[in-house]
Amino acid sequence: MLCYKDMTFCTKKDCGRACKKKLTKSIIKKAAEKNLPISQTDIGCADFKPKRRPYTPKSRIRAVARQLFLRSREAQQCKKKYNNTCCICGAKQSTAKGKEVKTNVHHVNGIDNWDEIDTAMRKHLLNVDEMIVLCESCHKKETEKQLTPKDNSVE
């Protein structure tokens, strides 16, 4: 197969490169120089599509959890508590032109339990066996049923 990236011919079935260029005259010329017949099916890179994982990768879960935290009420409360001022250098958040300063919320002890967060997310939110598809109105009704306290009276 012909690889676009380095203009070489690959003997592997799938070369592993995800090139998206069209068949060009220079590629056809290279194929002709090596006396190789060429067609659109001979080009391994053009048809290569990486396989999607059947599950959400850890990096995606971590990124979403981080964004959730950064936009949380708790993060906003922390910023308000410290008056949007850096606890180390004293710089205050500013949007003034030429003097822009952004402040971020930081965990003092760091987050060392990402594996636990990943496991909890997979167990409670990303478990396909615990999911069904519902229309919006049915979903709202089912959610309301789950949120209302159950009657635990003894008869």
Q: Is 136 helix (H, G, I), strand (E, B) or coil?
A: helix
* Mean per-residue pLDDT, 118-147: 87
Q: What is the pLDDT of residue 127?
A: 84
- The token pair that represents 32 in the structure block: 């002709």
CA separation for the pair 82, 129 (Å, rounded) = 44
pLDDT (tens digit, 9 = 90+) per residue, 24-44?
666 667 767 776 655 544 455
Q: What is the pLDDT of residue 24?
A: 61
Query: Quick count: other Cβ atoms within 10 Å of Cβ 11?
Result: 7
Query: Quick count: other Cβ atoms within 10 Å of Cβ 93?
Result: 14
pTM of the model: 0.50
Q: Is 111 helix (H, G, I), strand (E, B) or coil?
A: coil
Q: Is 64 helix (H, G, I), strand (E, B) or coil?
A: helix
pLDDT (tens digit, 9 = 90+) per residue, 35-79?
665 554 445 554 455 667 778 888 888 888 888 888 899 999 999
